[in-house]
Each structure stands twice: as C-alpha cells, then as structure tokens.
Amino acid sequence: MRTQFKPSSLGSLAALCLLATACQKSSPPAVRPPPAVTASQPAQREVVEWDEYPGRLDAVAMVEVRARVSGYLQSVQFKDGAEVKKGDLLFVIDPRPYQAELDHAEANLKQAETRLALASNDLTRAERLLQSKAISAEEADSRSNAKREAEAMIQSARALVETAKLNFEYTHIIAPVDGRIGRKLMTEGNLVNGNQGQSTLLTTIVSVDPVYCYFDADEQSALKYQQMTREGKGDNMRDGQVVCELELANEKGFPHKGVLDFVDNRIDPATGTLRVRGVFPNPSPDRLLQPGYFARVRVPGSGKYQTLLVPDLAVGTDQGQKFLYVINDQDMVEYKMVKLGPIIDGLRVVREGIQSNDWVMVNGLMSVRPGAKVTPKREALAGTPVPPLAAARQ
C-alpha cells in the first residue's frame, strides 16, 4: 500500500529545510583560543666569560733513571708504581769491585803521602848540607824536584780516590726527585751498562705535584692573556698570574684551580696557534691529575660584569639573525633582534636587545608569530625569584 503525501505536508517540510539552512549560514565560525606559552624575565647576574680549550696533562719533571756504572744488578728496592721521595734507594749494583778500587786508590794515596814526607826530609837535609858546601847545588836541585814530584803524585792519588768514591756511590742508585716511579725495566741478576751513551735504562720517575696542562690558544686569545698578565690586577689574577680551571673527562664544573705560568715565544705556522701552559696543584692522597690525561681547561676571557641571561632554547634564528619573542602588557608577541654572548651555566648571555623587565618566551616559539595574542604562563628562571606581576597574572 503506497503512502500519499498531502500538499500541505510537502510545504511544511520545505519550510523546515529552508529554516535549517538559514540557521547554519548565520552561525559564527569557531574561534581558536590564544596558544598557551611560557615566559620568564631574564636573569640578572655578575658573570665572567670563559674561553675553553682541550688540553693534555704533563709532568713538571720527568727523569730517566739509568746506570752510571757497569755491573750486575744486585737488588731492586721499590714497588712498581709507588711514590718515592728524593734520596730513596731504588737499585743496588754489585758494589764489591768498586769497593776494591776505592781501597786500592786510598792505599796509593797513603803511599804517595809517605813519598812526599820522605822527599821533604831529603830536601831539608840537602839545604843544610848545601850551606856547608857538603853537597853540590845539582844534588840539592834534584832533591827539590823530587819533592815537587811527590806533591803532584799526592794530587793524582787524591783524584783517583774521589773517582773511586763516586763509582762506589753510583752502585747505590737513589731517586733524584719526588714523584711516582714506573715499573722496573731490569730485574736482579742482569748485567747493566754504565758507559756514557750506552747506559742501561732502569726505570722512570715523573713528578706528581704540581702538574702542567698544555693547550693551544689562537693568537688573539694569547695576546689577551699576556695583556692580563702584564696588568696584573683584577678578580681573574692570583699573585700576578691569570687564573685557570680544569676538569677531567669524568668531571663537571672545572673543580681544579690553577694559574697560567707560560706562553710560548712563537706562533705555530701550521696551526696559527700558540702553546699555553697552566700549572695545577695535585695534592695527596687522591692525585687525580696524572701526566698524559686529556682534560678541558678554561681561562677567563673577561672581567666580571653584570648582564642578562635567558635560556638558549628561547633564542630563534631568522636568516642568520638572532631574535627573541617578548610578550607585552596586552599579551601580544613582539619580535626583538638581539646580540648574544656565550652560554654560562646553561643560560645564554644577551648583550643587547631586551630589558630586565621584559617577559621572554621560552616555550612555544613554533606556534606563534609576531603580533599574535597568546596566553602566557609567567614563570621565574631557575634560581631567580618570581616577580609580583607574574604571581598576579598566573
């Protein structure tokens, strides 16, 4: 059975459709709320700019311990890798042959002294006899020459005794400096050579306190450090030397404090850099700084000054130019070109472009454009108090 629509019903349906279409056209489009962003006022701090360099630690003194006399190595008196003091006994070479040489030289000296005494007595008698014409002048001269010869033999014998004493002392090899000793390169029972140019290397010693750190600085930086040293004043100086700081590969915050004590006398033409050296204390018992370690060293590149700092993520780049987004009192985004400095303690130095009371966007930069309205959440940077305006508007 078919349903038949009346003309009046069709007219009502058409009217409802027209009304719905009119209502749809007259409703306003949905408006998106302003994007939520985070803003902070720049931190105001007294800072120092630091120049950082890779460096390598080196010992102040490094000594190769070598044999100075030949013979069989009798004993080793140290433990590999131990710290030794100047004068500590390290090795003993069989001293018996050198003791015998010393005894022989001392006996020769006594014999020469006896000959001198006899020649002196003969000369005294010859002088008395010459006065009484009992001997000839030629005989007197002969006895005088014999005395002078005996005196020369005394000097020669004494020199041989001193040489024998030195050789005997060289059989006991002692540490020439304080420091950390390496491993023994020869063990007991081996024959060592003490001849000059062919002497046997027995071990090495490196000093451990203080230590050097060498690094290469560009010409401008080296000239700056030299000028600071000449002026010899300011917070970056200690006893007329530029301070510097160092950290090892597993350290943070540059915990080791030292001073620059040397700048090389010529630029390396291959690299255009100048060798610079810092000296750092390395107290016991830790002795953390070991010769040969790589490290990072930093040197103050400026004096202390007041500046503004912002998080580095707040900085944008526009065709090589750096900018910050600042939120004004109407919560509108403003575009400000800035001149930046280095990063210090995780924050970027802003030299020019903003004021201390500006609210800088630190989050949401990609979702806004200059002139756009935003919903800011004002927060203080780490370590700075929340301004009253921020607390009131949150």
Share of the chain above pLDDT 70, in %: 85
Residue whose entry in the numeric block shows the structure tokens 């690299």: 271
Task: Give me the mean pLDDT over the 19-38 stretch.
Answer: 63
- CATH number, span 51-59+209-300: 2.40.30.170
Whole-Å CA distances, 159 to 106, 156, 260: 10, 5, 47
Q: Is 180 strand, coil or helix?
A: strand
Pick the CATH number of 37-46+305-393 from 2.40.70.10, 3.30.160.20, 2.40.420.20, 1.10.3720.10: 2.40.420.20
- Paired with 180 in beta bridges are 83, 206
Q: Give 129: exposed, middle or buried? Use CB within 10 Å, 0-12, 13-18, 19+.
A: middle
CATH number listed for the domain at residues 95-170: 1.10.287.470
Top pLDDT among 377 and 82 is at 82
Residue whose pair of structure tokens reads 């902070």 in the numeric block: 40
In sequence order, the β-bridge partners of residue 260 are 278
Specify which of 5-14, 134-143, 273-282 reaches the highest per-range mean pLDDT. 273-282
Residue 32 has pLDDT above 50, yes or no: yes
Between 214 and 345, name the one with better pLDDT.
214
Provide the percentage of residues in the chain whose pLDDT is more than 90: 28
Q: What is the pLDDT of residue 21?
A: 56
d(CA 316, CA 338): 10
Q: Identify which has the larger pLDDT, 389 or 263.
A: 263
Q: Is the pLDDT of residue 191 over 80?
A: yes
Is residue 391 over pLDDT 50? no
Phi, psi of 313 (to 5 degrees): -70, -15
Quote the pLDDT of residue 190: 92
- Whether 358 has a pLDDT exceeding 50, the answer reads yes
What digits encode the pLDDT tens for the residues 122-178?
A: 667 776 776 776 767 777 667 777 777 778 888 888 899 999 999 999 999 999 999
Three-state SS at 37:
strand
For 47-62, write each residue's pLDDT tens digit: 888 888 999 999 999 9
Residue ranges per structural domain of the chain: 37-46+305-393, 51-59+209-300, 95-170
